[in-house]
Amino acid sequence: MAEKPILEMRGITKYIFDSYGVAIRNSTVRILDKVDFDLNRGEVHILVGENGAGKSTLMKVLGGLIPPDEGEVLLDGKVIRPKNAKEALEAGIGFIHQELNLCGNLSVSDNIFMGREIVRRGVKDKSAMRAKSAQLLDEMGVTNIPPETLVKDLSTAQQQIVEIAKVLSYDCRIIIMDEPTSSLTQREIDILFALIDKLRAQGVSIIYISHRLEEFERVGDRLSVLRDGQSIGTLERRDFDVDTIVAMMVGRTLGAMYENRHVPGHEPVLEVRNLRLEEKTAPISMHINAGEIVGMGGLVGAGRTELAKSVFGYRKCFGGEVFYQGRQLKTLNPADLIRHGIVYLTEDRKSEGLVLDMDVAQNISLASLFRMFPRFFMFGGKERELAEKTVSQLNVVCNSLSQLVRTLSGGNQQKIILGKCLATNPRLLILDEPTRGIDVGAKAEIYRMIDQIAESGVAVMMISSDMPELIGMSDRIYVMRGGAIVAEIQDKADMTQENILAYTIGKNA
Amino acid sequence: MQNTLEKSKGTSQSLWVRFLKNHGSILFFAVLFLLSSLFVPNFFTPRNVMTVIKQAAVPLVACMGLMLILTTGGIDLSLGYTLGLCSVLLGMMTKRYGIAAWQAIPLTLLIGAAVGLVNGSIVQFLHVPAFIATLGSGYVLYGIAQIFGKGDAFYQLPEDLLAFGTSRPLMIFAGGVPEEAMKNGLIGQILKLPSYVFIALIVAAIMYVVRHKTTYGRNLSVFGFNAKTARLSGVRTARLNVATYVISSTLVALASVLLTIRVNCAQSNLGGSNYTFEIVTAAVVGGTSLAGGVSSVVNCLFGVLVTKTLENIVNLMAVNIYLYQPLMGVVILIAIVLDAWKNRKL
Amino acid sequence: MRLSKRQSSIVTAAAVIAVFLIGGAFVPNFLKPANFLNVIRQCSIIAICAVGVTQVIVIQGIDLSVGGNVTFCGMLAGLLLGRGVPVPAAILCALVCGVVIGLISGSLYAYLEVPAFVATLVVGQITQGLAYLFNNGRSFGGFPKSYVFLGNGSFLGIPISDYIMIVFVAAGIFVTTMLPIGTRIYGLGGNEQVLKNVGIDTAKIKLFVFAASGFCAASAGVLLAAQLDTAHPTQGEPYQLDAIAACIIGGVSMSGGEGKVIMSMVGALIIGSIRNILNLLAVHSFYQNILVGVIIIAVVAVSMFSRLRSESKTAQFTVVENGGGR
């Protein structure tokens, strides 16, 4: 097609940023590195990449949720800089998030017209709004959603359709769909795809983020691959080929970051038998030996974090038995498990791992107070000693031990959480994304620490979405999908990114 | 923005500013004390200063309890009514049934603990927001107190009970003090301080250790700041939360005993919602964060002193006594606004 | 979900009927017309407060300033009437004050992000305290006939107070269901981010809601003073708990986003009737307080529990369709 693209993104660069969207000072970590992307009228452009490849960030830039540090976005050849979701919407860019962006307690038509209610003589014109909603849905070929239904009474697929309708009501010509099929059944997926075809025919352009290779040929016109924040390439539909795509997605070689010295032992520290994460998911059985690093592969939402939290007693699970050092754990709760020597390094460091408004020393001693001060009183300098030891051991960069953790960089925060976990003298360490969002230097240091921990005989379960890390560190890998373990890879030789990715996205399931 | 954040929270800040931010209530009290000494007649006399201290003693005990609950991020709106219930029960036990003070006082504290257990359990296990749970339980407690007391008051309490709070422990040192100094001098006033002041100070000292030097106190902060992190770091959060309500209400019961002795009258109307509010004000002026996590015994001590000094000034200046309550409201309003300002802008 | 909502309305309706049946069967005078009119007259104050409080709870707030506000505005009206201010002017003045009071707690909540219960507690205490100042803790009385008529007069056999209540409830229903702001209020309680994403200034909605609650409480205060022909600095206090209880009984969810004005009025009727029955049975107000306190805690606990259960039921994973064994 010689037609000029409706949307162009040129040289988008974004440095790592904090939760306010403000760049971390002096950060050199680029989430996006001069990414180019374009979208034609009436096409479905698939965006793929591993977790953390920068897809979501790129789309957030486009959707006005975060500003780019460099680069520009051109819509119809004109530069736009949407400052928030509303401006992006008005410019014609609609974003359909993975999580629900509707008010469940309101009706479909109220949701569609939120903020732009149709008013007649000062009063909300309900019938007009309903008629228009019905018309919108009708044009989309959807007839089974009455506009007066409450959104929370709809199925997930119907809710997504309502979101699409809401976006279309803004006359959006570009719709971003972030993993729209991740929680849909096959029938609902078919409905969604039919809708996408219809929209495409009407000239709407769609950016479609997905992990499901099997869908690509069905919906996509073109496909772009992102890897480590860089655009790797774009394929036309005729070139869609699973092997090619997987090869483009992986590619990164294992560096010298992983120098494993630990030797896995043989007696199991943790054994899980037939544990179910939900009533209907397949039972999970797994084990971890002393001194062994067991990697947990899979997509975000595959149930890895849920498994860790279930084992750690933080989340309800359905049936199954957990054995720890040969004895069955009857009741699971974090406080007892920590005292038994199991500790969990959380995925979300800010809301589950640290107390941001407390200082370095206090955060390090957080989980081991019971051990340091068994007699209730906290006199003496034990806490400071521990903090000093940890800070020097893990090479934490901070002004003083009484600096608030909030003001530290992500890497240093992560080291503090690791220090907190290690201070409990664990025999089983569960790590959930231990290196997410931190720079390369800190990563290498954390890998070295994990290796040392395993060397001292601690069993390590490591959840990671970073493939090289998973392969580089693990002695064994379990791959999870849909709340169940779908593969166990024991042989180092089988631990290839292609192989894991294939299990992850269910190619050979 | 990142820059200012680092600056404000880091060590580059001057000691002064940090002291002010962490101990605003001390400055507040100092300024208030200085100004009233200069401008309010009869304020700066040994007798009056001791009056303020005596008036501050009982609220201090209650404030220590409430401080703990506020640190968890909860609140106890039933505080004043717990106080009334304990008072009336203490009066009944000692006056109507003739139970000796050494038995009646522990029993009263137990009743307080039971109230706390109920409140804490409602909040922790029934997941009712603290303000609703304690608002509701406050009415229940008030009703119970009135049923027991039938609206009456018990005056002229037994001597053994009064002795617990009104004896003057320092008088044993009074030997060599001249009579004139004894009557009007500062030394005399200090020597004549009743035992409830010392009990309050002992409670504050114990609470200082509990709040700042024990694992319980530390975990309390952790829980208040971030309950999820607390639980995932092995804090027994349910037990901690309920225990806090129990400790708090026990302290309120102690405050009730002391107040009952101080006014020599046991009745269900002692305390009430105004009292709750006064204690909340003292805690908030004392820098306790309503969002949880932040509190300090020393600051709360000065918070109580600020509220009581204000009350004293209102009394001395012979303005309308009803001015006190709205004044307290304005004071807490200022404290809240300053707190919001401090957290965002400074 | 939908069923459970209908069920809850049915339960509430059943509660009304039960209260009236029990009252009628066991309490001699309960269903006599004179008493009945008295009940609904008393309920009107609770219901008017509840109209405002409903909105506040819907946006996940709470209004603990209702008691103080009712007292304050009643006393203010009393003060002005005592000074010879004409009745309409005095009423207007009191109502404006109520709105301002609501705006103060609303700004604390919306702009300083002070928790709603603290903001309104403080404002409630200030207003309560000021009410004592008006006449040194004494009450005002002996109001003009036209003012007292508002509270005690009746038209076509029905108390004027109840016409006023109906106006408030109707206005509440109109605002929440017919106006755009009503949708936004409920949306705010459901998912604030959605509103922010389409560029709605949610702080303004919060201000509106608190101001409305202040207005309702002020009107209730004015009406209460007229009913009693006195304005006393403690008379508003019981309405604090009753108004919240009415909303909660009427099915307003403490977690926000749910609740109807009309059901809160029903809740007010239940609370008012229970109080009346207990009065007729000569049960002391002590026991009444206990009962209302227990009801509040129980109803909130039940609603919190059912909510938690329904949340834990939503599955997080899609089951792997083609069987995901090893």
Q: Judge if A260 and A326 occupy the same domain.
A: yes
Q: Judge if A418 and A431 occupy the same domain.
A: no
Q: In chain A, which among 356-385 make CB contacts under 8 A with chain B?
A: 356-358, 362, 366-367, 369-370, 373, 376-379
Q: What domains can you pick out in chain B, each with its CATH number?
A: 25-344 (1.10.3470)
Q: Minimal CA–CA distance to A33: which of A50, A2, A51, A9?
A: A9
Given a cut of 90, whether residue A104 has pLDDT beyond it is: no
Distance from CA of C63 to the nearest CA of B (A): 11
Amino acid present at C122: V
Instruction: Give the chain B residue nearest A338 (alpha carbons).
Output: B234
Query: Residue B345: pLDDT band by 50, 70, 90 thresholds?
Result: very low
Between residues C286 and C59, the one the model is more confident about: C59
Nearest to A484 among C194, C197, C324 (CB): C324
Given a cut of 80, whether residue C11 has pLDDT beyond it is: no
Q: Judge if A4 and A83 occupy the same domain.
A: yes
Residue A136 lies in a domain: no
Residue C18 lies in a domain: no
Q: Judge if A334 and A432 occupy the same domain.
A: yes
CB within 8 Å: C198 and A114: yes
- Domain's final residue, options A249, A283, A311: A249
**pLDDT tens by residue, C68-100:** 999 999 999 888 888 888 888 888 999 999 999
Query: Residue B346: pLDDT band by 50, 70, 90 thresholds?
Result: very low
Residue B122 CA to residue B252 CA, distance in Å, equals: 18
Highest mean pLDDT among A21-25, A109-113, C49-53: C49-53
Nearest to A403 among B11, B209, B226 (CB): B11
Q: In chain A, which among 66-105 make CB contacts under 8 A with chain C?
A: 84-86, 89, 100-105
Q: Minimal CA–CA distance to B302: which of B35, B101, B22?
A: B22
Instruction: Give yes or no for a contact between C233 and C141, defined as CB atoms under 8 angstroms apart.
Output: no
Instruction: Give yes or no for a contact between A158 and A141, defined as CB atoms under 8 angstroms apart.
Output: no
Specify the pLDDT at position C319: 45
CB within 8 Å: A378 and B214: yes
In the DSSP assignment, the letter for residue A352 is I
Cβ-based contacts of B228 with chain A (< 8 Å):
351-352
**pLDDT tens by residue, B150-201:** 777 888 888 888 888 888 877 777 777 777 777 777 788 888 888 899 999 9
Specify the pLDDT at position B343: 67
- Mean pLDDT over residues A82-96, rounded? 83
In the DSSP assignment, the letter for residue A349 is I
- Mean pLDDT over residues B122-127, rounded? 90
Range of the domain at C101: 40-306
Q: How many CB pairs under 8 A join A and B?
A: 97
Report residue B138 CA to chain centroid gap: 17
Residue C30 lies in a domain: no
Residue A494 CA to residue A297 CA, distance in Å, equals: 14
Strand bridging mode A44-48 / A222-227: parallel
Q: Could you count the other beta carbons within 10 Å of the beta carbon of residue A406? A: 17
Specify the pLDDT at position A252: 53
Highest mean pLDDT among A138-152, A307-321, B246-260: B246-260
Mean pLDDT of chain A: 82
**pLDDT tens by residue, A440-471:** 677 788 888 899 889 998 999 999 887 888 88
Query: Residue C322: pLDDT band by 50, 70, 90 thresholds?
Result: very low
CB within 8 Å: B213 and A378: yes
CATH number at residue C123: 1.10.3470
Q: Minimal CA–CA distance to A364: which of A374, A354, A351, A373?
A: A354
Amino acid present at B116: G
Q: Judge if A309 and A271 occupy the same domain.
A: yes
The pTM of this model reads 0.85
CB within 8 Å: B135 and C241: yes
Between residues B27 and B186, the one the model is more confident about: B27
Residue B89, beta-bridge partner list: none
Cβ-based contacts of B11 with chain A (< 8 Å):
399-400, 402-403
Query: Residue C1: pLDDT band by 50, 70, 90 thresholds?
Result: very low
Picking from C186, C195, C320, C322 by the largest number of A CB atoms within 10 A of its own CB, the best residue to mutate is C320
The total domain count for chain A is: 3
Cβ-based contacts of C192 with chain A (< 8 Å):
none
Q: Minimal CA–CA distance to B196: which of B147, B149, B162?
A: B162
Distance from CA of C136 to the nearest CA of B (A): 7
Specify the pLDDT at position A29: 64
Q: Judge if A298 and A359 occupy the same domain.
A: no
CB within 8 Å: A334 and B232: yes
Nearest to B325 among C119, C128, C286 (CB): C128
Residue A245 lies in a domain: yes
Residue C6 lies in a domain: no
List subunits contacting chain B, requiring 3 or more Cβ pairs under 8 Å: A, C
- Mean pLDDT over residues A346-361, rounded? 86
Rounded to two decimals, the ipTM of the complex is: 0.83
CB within 8 Å: C318 and A185: yes
Residue A129 lies in a domain: no
Between residues A233 and A183, the one the model is more confident about: A233
Ranking A317-321, B308-312, C21-25, C116-120 by mean pLDDT, the lowest is C21-25
Residue C94 lies in a domain: yes
Cα R_g (chain B), whole angstroms: 21
Cβ-based contacts of B280 with chain C (< 8 Å):
121
Which secondary structure element, helix H or strand E, spans residue B37, and what is its range? helix B24-39
Q: Which two tokens stand for residue C151?
A: 């509270």
Specify the pLDDT at position B78: 92
Range of the domain at A414: 349-425
Between residues C131 and B8, the one the model is more confident about: C131
Q: Judge if A230 and A371 occupy the same domain.
A: no
Q: In B198-234, which positions are buried (b, 16+ CB within 10 angstroms) versus exposed (e)? A: bbbbebbeebbebbeebbbbbbbbbbbbbbebbbbbb
Residue A270 lies in a domain: yes
Instruction: Give the chain C residue nearest A184 (alpha carbons).
Output: C318
Q: Does C312 touch chain A (CB under 8 A)?
A: yes
Which secondary structure element, helix H or strand E, spans residue A273, and what is its range? strand A268-275
The total domain count for chain C is: 1
Instruction: Give yes or no for a contact between C147 and C92, defined as CB atoms under 8 angstroms apart.
Output: no
CA distance readout (Å), B126 to B247, B248, C62, C241: 20, 19, 19, 20
Instruction: Give yes or no for a contact between C200 and C184, defined as CB atoms under 8 angstroms apart.
Output: yes
Residue C84 CA to residue A268 CA, distance in Å, equals: 89
Residue A196 gets the label, from left (phi > 0), alpha (psi -120 to 50) or beta, of: alpha
Residue A130 lies in a domain: no
Q: Judge if A259 and A243 occupy the same domain.
A: no
Q: Judge if A330 and A355 occupy the same domain.
A: no
CATH number at residue A7: 3.40.50.300
Picking from B233, B236, B239, B343 by the largest number of A CB atoms within 10 A of its own CB, the best residue to mutate is B233
- Mean pLDDT over residues A51-56, rounded? 74
Specify the pLDDT at position C31: 72
**pLDDT tens by residue, C261-318:** 888 888 888 888 888 888 888 777 778 888 888 888 888 888 777 777 666 555 455 4
Q: Give B58: exposed, middle or buried? Use CB within 10 Å, 0-12, 13-18, 19+.
A: buried
Given a cut of 90, whether residue A248 has pLDDT beyond it is: no
Mean pLDDT of chain C: 82
Q: Does A25 touch chain B (CB under 8 A)?
A: yes
- Domain's final residue, options A197, A221, A249: A249
In the DSSP assignment, the letter for residue A493 is G
